[in-house]
Amino acid sequence: MDSLLYVIEKDKHTNEELREILKSNKNIRFVSLMGVDLGGNATDEKIPVELFLDDIDKFLESAIQTDGSSVELYNIATLNNAKVDLMPDKSCHWYVDYNMEYIDEEVGLPVGTLKIPAFLIHDNKKVCSRGVLQKADKYFKKSMYEIFREYPHVINNIGIDSVDDIEEIMLTAATELEFWVNTPEDKADLEKLYVSQSLKEQYWKRTHGIIRTCLEKSLIILQKLGVSPEMAHKEVGGIQSSISIDGRTNHAMEQLEVSWKFSTPLQAADNELLVRDVIEDVFTSHGLEVTFKAKPIHGVAGSGGHTHVGVSAKLKDGSIKNLFAPKDLKEDYLSELGYGALMGLLYNYEVLNPIVTASNDGFNRLVPGFEAPVCIVTSLGHSYEIPSRNRSVLVGLIRDMKNPKTVRFELRSPSPLSNTYLVIAGCYQTMLDGIKAAAKSGLSTKELEKELSKNVGEESFYLEKDRAYRDENDVFEHYSLEERNARFGIPPATVYENMKNLEIYASKLKSLKQGDVFTDSIIESFKIGAIDKWQKKLKTRIIEEGIQKIRSIVKIHTKENMDALDEVVWNSISDLKFNIMKDTLTRESLFTRVREAVENKDYQAASDLQIELKRSMEEIQQLYMQYKKNIY
């Protein structure tokens, strides 16, 4: 297997080189174009490699036609204008996806598919997630040069004498991927999981057995694919697995995390899809289930997809300057550009948030408490000299006093299934809005730090008067819910509330729209798609799952083993069951009211009822757990 080809670098996409590579690797039998729609779904198809070899140049310069029914492009690819083309992207790495269960009889190696990232084209425009990120990358770099020419002090103050000294603006991005692994059909023991999490029994502990094997195999494959993994470890969630009498792993339920090196924004987003595929293939081939859901198990730690973004300048003398790092790390947290970028990210987050969290699953994770970033706030550190990490904030500042190149921002709200392409694009767009404002203001680093650190009610040249944006406390422990809402704003609780913010904060949409990166049609398509999926899942899956949970809550005490307390608690549970699920001649259950609100397209009512339903389901599950503990 060591002879397998895993990646074709972007400088080897010529006709001659590709022909030679594919003829030397006869087990690569198919080609697939990977476009990514606005829902973050990647296309996959099987094109015999012979068709590709017939005319490589034509294949790469033309496009494969499909129709809009196969991709998520609401109100763009319509019934009467459905033609969508897949255009290969020659500017990125291509990789080979192997089917380890199917060995090519001719060469004795697994059958491979050459995966070529692509753009989705409609009416001669790129209308896909990859296209949006590509535009954001180009526009950010172009705008930075313009800012440097108009406001040269922002680069002079970090040791760059002139914009003419800059050879290239470099954007870097990366994500971290958390996920849960379990043996099939195992049911979660919520109490054991909660206790293990509270005691941090699993966090960074040694992996064992088949979990270890799969994790190590995944990392080795990712190395071969050029992704450059940096670390993998156990996360806080999970319980210790057991071993059966035949030596097999039983009752595995563990949370893991994998991280890898930074890359360009587009390559970083492509890498995340690749990492998910590899992990899923490896673990499932060993009989384990993998989920990248943000909150697969209620009541215990969810999974995040923290997103890191940075900006540097490569100078003509060969040196590299981190544009967010101050001239002296012991005198400032950030440069003027860094403060501007951070303020832009925070100020415009109400319109970035709908892109970051667009699913019911994502909102299940974003609840106040265990490191879930719900407040629009950042932390810089307690002192310039000693970097710190505040895990209760939305945006973290990553610093290393010995290495200014590491200065970057960590957006903590994305989940593993967030659309990373659009999230990264949105980050750079909103950061650029703040950079422009900070450069124009002419304020120094100390003055910008004061602006970012302002209290509620204080005026600002850019930030909102009635908000605070920086806090060094644990915001969940230090403030009550009412205090958090007053300082940092009221966070949306449902997909619909989040999408409504695109209308409520319409004035902030200019940050996304600048440079025609997020067009009106892209934003509208994304919003319609998110609401459509939300309402469909709300009236089907969420209610169906709720029904199963309610039916599993049954009376277990008898006259022989009961106490009056058991009867009181059970009566409370019974009342909740009745309210949630049972219709009568005079009243409708919560389930029915949710369904009817969705069917009547009264989405505001459906959203409000979803919040009520979620509270009731959490209450009844807590009561039932309490009730069962008292029965012997």
The conformation of residue 55, written as its DSSP 8-state character, comes to T
Residues 6 or more apart whose Cβ sits within 8 Å of residue 235: 178, 202, 203, 255, 256, 257, 301, 303
Q: pLDDT-based confidence at 298, cuts 50/70/90?
A: confident
pLDDT reported for residue 241: 66
Arithmetic mean of pLDDT, 292-312:
91
Q: pLDDT-based confidence at 78, cuts 50/70/90?
A: confident
Arithmetic mean of pLDDT, 521-548:
97
Q: Are 134 and 123 in contact (CB under 8 A)?
A: no
| 245 has a pLDDT exceeding 60 | no
pLDDT digits (tens, 9 = 90+) for 397-423: 999 999 999 999 999 999 999 999 999
| 345 has a pLDDT exceeding 90 | yes
Counting Cα atoms < 13 Å in the Cβ hemisphere of 534 gives: 28
pLDDT reported for residue 525: 97
Residues 6 or more apart whose Cβ sits within 8 Å of residue 267: 92, 93
pLDDT reported for residue 133: 99
**pTM value > 0.85:** yes
Specify the fold of 7-125: Ubiquitin-like (UB roll) (3.10.20)
User: What's the CA gap between 525 and 120, in Å, rounded?
Assistant: 14
pLDDT reported for residue 236: 73
Q: pLDDT-based confidence at 80, cuts 50/70/90?
A: confident
User: Per-domain residue ranges for the chain?
Assistant: 7-125, 132-518, 531-629
Span of 10-24, 49-63, 193-207, 566-580 with lowest mean pLDDT: 193-207
User: What's the CA gap between 582 and 578, in Å, rounded?
Assistant: 5
Specify the fold of 132-518: Creatine Kinase; Chain A, domain 2 (3.30.590)
Counting residues of the chain whose pLDDT is more than 90, the rounded percentage is: 83
The conformation of residue 541, written as its DSSP 8-state character, comes to I
The conformation of residue 539, written as its DSSP 8-state character, comes to I
User: What's the CA gap between 57 and 76, in Å, rounded?
Assistant: 29
